Structures are given as C-alpha cells and as structure tokens.
Amino acid sequence: MNLYIYEDIKYKNFLPISYLRPVFLMRAGILSLFEKCKIMFPDTYIGFIVRDQLSQLIARQYPENPVNIIKKGNKGILLLNGRIKNLGDLLDNIKESSKSCIFVNNKNEVIGALFRSGSIETVPPVATFIEYSNHFKTSLDNFDRVEVSVELYNYSWDVMADISKQIKFDYFKFPELRQQSNPKIDSQAVLINKDDIFIGEDAKIYPTAIIDATEGPVFIGGNVIVDAHAAIYGPCYIGPNSHVLAGKISHSSIGHTCRVGGEIEESVFHSYVNKYHDGFIGHSYVGSWVNFGAMTTNSDLKNNYSNIRLVLNGENIDSNSNKIGSFIGDHTKFGIGTLLNTGVNIGVCCNIFGGNLVEDKEILPFSWGSTGEYQKYQFEKAIETVKIVYDRRSVVCLAEEETLLKLIFEDKLSSEGVFNFEL
C-alpha cells in the first residue's frame, strides 16, 4: 500500500508557520508530523499532496517523496490528513478493512481514505489528486464509513500546547532515535534522572550546566554545545548542531542549528533560529531563520488570566487558553528590546524594531518598522537579507523559495491544489 500525506484547506489555520511548509512538516515533538508517519509506516512508499504554490519547493527539498503525483500500490493507496495528532486505532482499522473506506473521527473530521486496488482500476496507474478526488465523489456509495480514535490539530497553538506530550511520546515510542554515542560531558555538569537523558555524538556539556529530566526526557542531538550556567528542563529536545547558552530552556523543542539563550518555555523553534541574548519567549511557535534581538520578550499571560484571543487571516479567534505567546513566520527579525503582546501573529520576512510594545494582533508578511507605523518591506531588500543570512550558514537560497516568497509578498497566496474530501 502506498501512503500519501495531504494538506487540506485548514492549512490557513497554521499561518504564518505554514507559509513555507505544509502542516505535516511542522515540528511536533522531537519529529515533524511526517517523520512520525515515516517511522510508523515502515517500508512504505510515501508521497505528498500540497497546494500548487508549495509543490516545487517541497519537491526540491524532499526529492525522495513524490509531490502531487499518486502512484498505485499493489494493495491500493492510503490518503492521510497531514494535520494528524495521533494515529489512535487507525492502523488496526486499515488491517481489518477489506473494502475501500473513509476514516472519520467522533468530530466528523476526515482522517483519510483507503482506496483498495480493486476499486481504482479505472484510475490511471500514475494520477493526480484531482483524478482521485473525482473518483471518490463518484464512488462515495462504495466506501465504508469507519470511525477511528484519531485526533487532528486545528491551529498552530494546538501543536504548541501539545509539545511536552509529543516529546515524551517520540522519546519513548521511537528508541531507534537514540543511537549509541560518545558525548563529552564535564564532570561538573549536573545530570538529573540520567536514565531519561540522551546526549548525541560529539555533544559537549560544560561545567555547571544542568540537565534535569525529572518531569520528562531530554534529548540532545549530535554536536550540540551546552554552555556553563545553562539549564535544560524536560521534556525538551535540542536539535543537532545547536548551541545552548546561559539561561533556562524548559518543555520546548528546538530545531537543528539554533543558538538559544535567556529563557524559553513551552515553545517550538524550527531550524536556524537565533536567540542568543537574554529575554523571554514562552508558549510560542517560531519558524526558521528568525532572529531575536537582545532582550526581545513576549507576554504569554494576560493580567486578568482570561482566554487569549488571536487574529488569524483577519478573523478574531478565541484560543480557549490563557497561555498563548507569539507565532512568528520564517525570516522575521526583531530589533533590541522588542516587546510582544500576548497572542501576536507575525508573518514571514518582517523586520520589527524600535523597542516598543507590539500590540498588533496580526502583522502581515513583509512588514517593516515599529508598531502602528509599518511600511511594506522592499522585496529586493528582504531577499538580499535572506541570502546574506543563508550565506553565513553555508546554505543556498533555492530559486523555488524565492518564487514562493515573491507570491507571498504580492499577496497572491492561493489554495489551489488543496485536497479536500467532501462527505
């Protein structure tokens, strides 16, 4: 059976993080949603179905996974919603289903669809998602409806709120992630509950650093440096080649090649994030290549402890939580002393400075300036900065990413190509 992970129209609920990636490539624990599926569906041919504007970039980044091309498997194909939070009893139901079926949960959300090989004889051996969508619509009566105990994420803050649980899940569910290693741990470093601490190859833990796994496991990737006076409290993940400076990191997932210091709490950072200096970031989700100027700090709790509301795509939404920080798109930079109010959504390629309190609930991509005084960042200047920063890390800016950023700059975000099942 071949597996295809698709994004549906709710990818918009995960902006600004989903501007440059489908939801299933968002970090959710130690691994991304896709990486979890890859392990839980071993030896399976896996492809992606993404919106048209993303297809070329994702195809370039993941050449081993076909994008928007569906190839039949000997036992059919499984289309799986990329917002998946857990697999529940899905695998058991797949094994027990002899017919094609549509999987839904108790909220009537579509989890995915199983097309058994005998039911798709009229579909070409290599087809598009549109052909499968049309086949599904005309053959709906032939699909069994199966309810499964699978949950889906609906917003970025759902992923953020679930991070501690998912780090624990990944750490204990996938022991193969913890290969034998030879880190350099100074004798004056303090490791608490060592059995639940993994430190990767060539990682360096300096004197007086504290790694505490009392409340959950700590996974430190290869070639990570943990400086003196740094404290890491689990559940926590630090990706390979990252550098942890003096400060406190707790209940967070930090991607590869990040530099992090100060205080970080219950947050997700993608790769190449720079938070070198003091300042607090809590209950936040941060894209790649974000730079926090010294003392940049966000609020994640209102003074009256009420639920925090966010503005997403112009819509005012109750998060149903009183602990929400910031959601920050890729390539955004903050000047020194920037203060972020609760529940702020900040688009890609923004440049925010001035040392003021940012009260705007939603800041559009390519915004330049201080709160209430934003101008449109010149695209050529923004891309120039992207390429300078990439060059500092020996990374090449892909033409496909530049094209996508230009579409975002021109406000031409399109949902064309998004796969949706209509029951």
Residue 329 and residue 287 in one domain: yes
Q: Note the pTM of the prediction, 2 decimals.
A: 0.94
Residue 61 and residue 83 in one domain: yes
pLDDT for position 423: 62
Q: What's the domain range around 25?
A: 2-154
Residue 196 and residue 335 in one domain: yes
Domain boundary at 124, 154, 184, which?
154
CATH number of the domain residue 178 falls in = 2.160.10.10
pLDDT for position 73: 76
Residue 339 and residue 399 in one domain: yes
pLDDT for position 373: 83
pLDDT for position 129: 85
The count of domains in the chain is: 2
Residue 145 and residue 165 in one domain: no
Domain boundary at 136, 154, 172, which?
154
Whether 421 maps to a domain, the answer reads no
pLDDT for position 401: 97
Whether 422 maps to a domain, the answer reads no
Residue 168 and residue 72 in one domain: no
Residue 31 and residue 166 in one domain: no
Whether 288 maps to a domain, the answer reads yes
CATH number of the domain residue 94 falls in = 3.90.550.10
SS (HEC) of the chain? CEEEEECCHHHHHHCCHHHCCCHHHCECCCCEHHHHHHHHCCCCCEEEECCHHHHHHHHHHCCCCCECCEECCCCCEEEEECCECCCCCHHHHHHHCCCCEEEECCCCCEEEEEECHHHCCCCCCEECHHHHHHHHHHCHHHCEEEECCCCECCCHHHHHHCHHHHHHHHHHHCHHHCCCCCCEECCCCEEECHHHEEECCCCEECCCCEEECCCCCEEECCCCEECCCEEEECCEEECCCCEEEEEEEECCEECCCCEEEEEEECCEECCCCEECCCCEEECCEECCCCEECCCCEECCCCCCCCCCEEEECCEEEECCCCCCCEEECCCCEECCCCEECCCEEECCCCEECCCCEECCCEECCCEEECCCCCEECCHHHHHHHHHHHHHHCCCCCCHHHHHHHHHHHCCCCCCCCCCCCCC
Residue 264 and residue 172 in one domain: yes
Mean pLDDT, 10 residues at a time, the chain of 423 residues: 92 96 95 92 92 95 94 87 93 90 93 88 86 82 90 96 96 94 96 98 98 98 97 98 97 98 98 96 98 97 95 93 97 96 96 91 94 90 96 96 96 82 67
Residue 301 and residue 171 in one domain: yes
Whether 414 maps to a domain, the answer reads no
pLDDT for position 422: 67
Q: What is the pLDDT of residues 404-416, one digit of tens each?
A: 999 999 998 888 8
Residue 241 and residue 344 in one domain: yes
Domain boundary at 154, 173, 195, which?
154
Q: What is the pLDDT of residues 319-362, one digit of tens each?
A: 999 999 999 999 999 999 999 999 999 999 999 998 889 989 99
Residue 133 and residue 173 in one domain: no
Residue 110 and residue 200 in one domain: no
